[in-house]
Structure 1
Amino acid sequence: MKHILKFRNKNVSPKIYLLFAITFFMLSCDLEEEVISFRTDSNFYANQEELNRGVIATYSGLYEVLAVEWSVTEQRSDNTFTDPDASPESNFQNFTLDRFQVETNNTLNQEYYAACYKAIALANRIIANLDVAADENLRNQYEGEAKFIRALLHFNLTRLYGSIIISDQIVIGEEGQQLARQAQTEVYDFIIQDLLDAVSLLPESYDASDFGRATSIAARTILGKVYLTAPEKDVEAAITQLEYVRDQSDRDLVSSYDLLFDENNEVNEEVIFSVRYETGLVGLGSIFPNLFAPVRSTGSILGVFGDGDGRNIPSQDMSDAYETDDVRKASSMADGFTIENGDGPEDDEFRLDKYVLKYNPASASAVEDGPVDFPVTRYADVLLMLSEAYVDARGIMEALTELNKVRVRAGLAPLTESDTPSTFAFRLALEQERRVEFAFENHRLFDLLRTGRAMTVLNTHFSTEFAYNDPDNPDRGAGPISSFQLLLPIPQREIDLNPNLAQNIGY
């Protein structure tokens, strides 16, 4: 397990690194009381310093979540697929997720579900022990951070599984077997309240040494998306939160898209909340360069040390989605790579294997130890969500203004009203813009679900992408899918442990 907060040596004292080491040890033991100590939950944290370690441990829980989130989000969109050269049997878990044929005992599905609730449990532990913090400002901050993480994970869970268990307190032993799923309207009410609390409790910014902690600006940004996603969508409430971020915060687009994923420029004005990685420290590095690099590419991919696992492969349609002058493609993916087989270029071999390179550093010296942070949300998301809200509330012209800020940064000409003559045409243009702006950042499936376009887009993906229509490999086909498959099944292990949990229809 890795740690969420990344600090540079110039900002951090040796005591902080000791704190990291202690937290890492705690997490490696899964925070089981009998391993860490013999204290009960009622007195687990004895003082403010220990509570802060618990907050850091809660952030660290996001590493385990992100390690598999791509497989239940991006891979289940039209952006990527699993290795088409691997047999279905050799990569069964990813193969079935990719094709929406996931079974209730899929291990990746189970890992994601469990990782989310584990991090939520850590957040609940913080909230239950706030009284040990002597400093009121820090007490408020810790509560806001815990509620932000708790809300974010409930938001992801309900979008993927539908009605879910609302986890708002410490649960011990058999108490967990009494819990039941609650309606999405109740889940969204809970998420909204947690985020409203976080907005009021958190500061808008921190010193550089605390960069990576959740802010009230991050809470407002996620809250805006929640309002746009909830069953009872509230466009005006979303606009209120997102306009505040645009007009009252110090957030802005960075000048160049490529700078967003430069490990030397990660503390920048566009990042609103990210999961932070640090190379060279045990357990703090990113796994994504190796995970997403092509198989048998050792030494041939910039920023990847060792071989790749060939996961999350960009689709042909994803590659074709970029306009000719769009600078974002070169920063996000590659259509192939060169293997140097001899002494000169004439001996080189070019392989047409697409791969994600958004998280690759300039150089690498260890396996699964990348330094590039993973953005959960950034300022471009604020602008494009405002565009989505404006088209309903204020018309196409105002919506185009926000969308074009993002397009122009990408080196593209702004769209005009003649390019989007109807609301439907505008929404398709916005869908396209979000796709290429946030490619491989786990947004695409959630966007399609929010706009009601998932069935149409995914069934087109399955009917046109060669990976699913190879005449030499008919066993690798997919689709069309049914609406029930848009939700993941509740993992069978969870149902076995808790008979009160009902399975999603169709599984």
Structure 2
Amino acid sequence: MKKKVYTVLIAALTLLVLGCEDFLDRKPLGRYTTETYPTGGLTQFIYGMYSDLRLYGVHAWPYVGVVSIRSDDADKGSTPTDGAQSQAPYDDFTLLPNHGLTLTFYRDNYRAINKCNVVLQQSDSLRSEISEEEYNMARAEARFVRGYLYFNLVRAFGGVPKVDDLITDSDNFNVPRASKEEIYTLIEQDLLYAAGILPPTWGAAFIGRPTRGSAQGLLAKVYLYQQRWAESLQMSQNVIASGFYNLNTPYNVIFTEAGENTSESVFEIQAIRNESYNFGIEYVVGQGIRGTGAMDLGWGFNSPSVQLVNAYESGDPRQDHTILFQGEVTPYGEIVPPLDGVPNVRYNQKVYTNPTYRAAAGSRFGHWMNVRILRYADVLLMAAEAANELNQTSNALDYLEQVRARARGGNASVLPQITETNQALLRDHIRHERRIELAMEHERFFDIVRWGIAETVLHAAGKTNFVVGKHELLPIPQEEIDRSDGVLIQNPGY
């Protein structure tokens, strides 16, 4: 069957009024436009594909709600009324099928997938005009990005429509959902292809493009989610053995400008630094400190929870580099102010940016920051988890210690080395380390779901509306079901 999907996924995509009520009044920037595409060959289509990784629904405000606010490590934040229709349903598990941000997340991811398919189609169309190397590389990049986007969709919704060729028929809305297993097979095929073609590293002119390690690292996670432990471990070890990645970047530097595209970065979304824009990347602004005057840096959503605060071991320096508290002096010498009407007293420090950016842009919203998607520490912790499940205790302990050693930073009085050899107890240590090392980095909700502990930890965090068998997945947007004439089937419980 020729695979197609809905017109709404590729055209007439606008920001929805059900998004963050204050946030959507702002002009979204940090994106390519057709006027900025280079001409000739495949370049314009490749640029368009990467540009769509910064779409509002792909890596901005809907994304933060889907991947973070649903977890026990984050609360909605901001004022009680702001985001009451957009972000609060993620926080308290009252999502309905007509939820605006979820629709935007769904549509924008398919729009970005279509850009990948454009690259694949154009590479075939231009094959006689380009080199074999350019042809293969373009396809590898497109299939990596497509695999990544489908991984986000399948984790969020389960089975979704499978679109692996270019959308050409705008009248065909009747495409059923593929099974979760079919989507995982497509992801695996895409990433295996990409891993076989992509280079181990790129030159400075192409910084930020996916590498062989990016594909292998993401594939390790795809296997991990399916409990394919041996394959996950092998892919993680491929990244480790490559020698291109390390933990030399101090933890407090990772989320600064100096920490972008370092040897710890396996893949990150590139942001535009353009001082003619006075509004930076939307991913950052929505989570920025909500204060007054010069310290009114955003809307204060995605507030680190008290459960996350209490999860840190005594003296763990990572807490100071993950959470900003009201009254705290920031790494750049600013003071986090209290604000009447904003009950959350904590902010995500991993999106706090250098004030010189704001000064250069002439705006307190002038944030520029890459979105970190996959770090080497994550790869090591995936390797530790898979090794433990395979009873390779020594390897698991070694990978775990590498992460903790960097975190303790030479201070032997904190974060003692883990020596536990009981598989179940070591599993708990590894899960704890993932929570802390990757706190506020898009992993926690999906982790607790795949571990089967979501109900326990979310109810303990006061998110008692979570229902097993329902809230692990988002509702399929009702508008998409209606457009399919009912061919799309809703997830259970909605």
Give the TM-score category using the shorter length: 0.7 to 0.9
1:350 offset after TM fit, Å?
Answer: 9.2
* 1:393 corresponds to 2:357: no
1:158-216 per-position Cα deviation (integer Å, ceiling 9, x unaligned): 11101111110112344541311011111111110010110112111100121111111
The 2-side partners of 1:354 and 1:398 are apart by 36
Among 174, 199, 202, which residue is 1:206 paired with? 202
Task: State the partner residue of 2:298.
Answer: 308
The 1-side partners of 2:196 and 2:417 are apart by 37
In the alignment of these two chains, the number of paired residues is: 439
1:367 offset after TM fit, Å?
Answer: 4.3
Task: State the partner residue of 2:238.
Answer: 244
Among 49, 67, 75, which residue is 1:58 paired with? 49
Q: Go from structure 1 to structure 2 and tell me whether the alpha carbon gap of 1:349 and 1:356 turns closer, same or farther (over 3 Å shift).
A: closer
Q: Go from structure 1 to structure 2 and tell me whether the alpha carbon gap of 1:234 and 1:296 turns closer, same or farther (over 3 Å shift).
A: same
Secondary structure at the aligned position of 1:273 is classed as strand
Structure 1's unaligned 5+ residue stretches are 1-20, 29-35, 37-44, 301-305, 340-344, 464-477
8 Å Cα contact 2:353-2:368 kept in structure 1: yes
1:440-455 alignment to 2 at 5 Å? 440-455=440-455
8 Å Cα contact 1:82-1:312 kept in structure 2: yes
* 1:354 corresponds to 2:362: no
Structure 2's unaligned 5+ residue stretches are 1-28, 330-334, 409-413
Q: Which has the higher helix share?
A: 1
The 2-side partners of 1:319 and 1:437 are apart by 13
Task: State the partner residue of 1:473.
Answer: none
The 2-side partners of 1:183 and 1:27 are apart by 39
The 2-side partners of 1:315 and 1:289 are apart by 18
TM-score of the two chains, using structure 2 as the length reference: 0.83
Q: Go from structure 1 to structure 2 and tell me whether the alpha carbon gap of 1:189 and 1:282 turns closer, same or farther (over 3 Å shift).
A: farther
The 2-side partners of 1:191 and 1:375 are apart by 20
Task: State the partner residue of 2:417.
Answer: 415
Letter in 2 for 1:406: V
Task: State the partner residue of 2:149.
Answer: 153
1:285 offset after TM fit, Å?
Answer: 3.3
1:282-323 per-position Cα deviation (integer Å, ceiling 9, x unaligned): 6693234432134334424xxxxx442121011011112222
Q: Go from structure 1 to structure 2 and tell me whether the alpha carbon gap of 1:176 and 1:196 turns closer, same or farther (over 3 Å shift).
A: farther
Secondary structure at the aligned position of 2:252 is classed as helix
Task: State the partner residue of 1:26.
Answer: 34
8 Å Cα contact 1:23-1:57 kept in structure 2: no
1:418-451 per-position Cα deviation (integer Å, ceiling 9, x unaligned): xx35322222211111111111111111211222
8 Å Cα contact 1:274-1:377 kept in structure 2: yes
Secondary structure at the aligned position of 2:374 is classed as strand
8 Å Cα contact 2:404-2:415 kept in structure 1: yes
Task: State the partner residue of 1:503.
Answer: 490
8 Å Cα contact 2:30-2:280 kept in structure 1: no
Task: State the partner residue of 1:113.
Answer: 106
8 Å Cα contact 1:100-1:486 kept in structure 2: no
1:368-422 per-position Cα deviation (integer Å, ceiling 9, x unaligned): 43222111001101100000000011333321110111011111434333xx353
Secondary structure at the aligned position of 1:199 is classed as helix
Letter in 1 for 2:489: A
1:485 offset after TM fit, Å?
Answer: 1.4
Secondary structure at the aligned position of 1:252 is classed as coil
Letter in 2 for 1:223: L
1:349 offset after TM fit, Å?
Answer: 6.7
Secondary structure at the aligned position of 1:92 is classed as coil
The 2-side partners of 1:325 and 1:350 are apart by 29
Among 317, 338, 353, which residue is 1:327 paired with? 317
1:79-478 alignment to 2 at 5 Å? 79-83=73-77, 85-87=79-81, 91-131=84-124, 132=126, 134-174=130-170, 176-230=172-226, 233-281=227-275, 285-300=280-295, 306-337=296-327, 353-363=345-355, 364-365=358-359, 366-411=363-408, 412-417=414-419, 420=420, 422-462=422-462, 478=464
8 Å Cα contact 1:288-1:370 kept in structure 2: no
1:311-368 per-position Cα deviation (integer Å, ceiling 9, x unaligned): 10110111122223222222221121369xxxxx9xx979971001212222123244
My pick for the range that moved more, 95-104 or 478-487, is: 478-487
Secondary structure at the aligned position of 2:48 is classed as helix
8 Å Cα contact 2:289-2:298 kept in structure 1: yes
Secondary structure at the aligned position of 1:337 is classed as coil
The 2-side partners of 1:235 and 1:204 are apart by 24
Letter in 2 for 1:60: S
Task: State the partner residue of 1:475.
Answer: none
- Work out the percentage of aligned pairs sharing the same amino acid: 28
1:452-494 per-position Cα deviation (integer Å, ceiling 9, x unaligned): 222221121126xxxxxxxxxxxxxx42533211110001111
Among 477, 482, 487, which residue is 2:468 paired with? 482
1:267 offset after TM fit, Å?
Answer: 2.8
Secondary structure at the aligned position of 2:465 is classed as coil
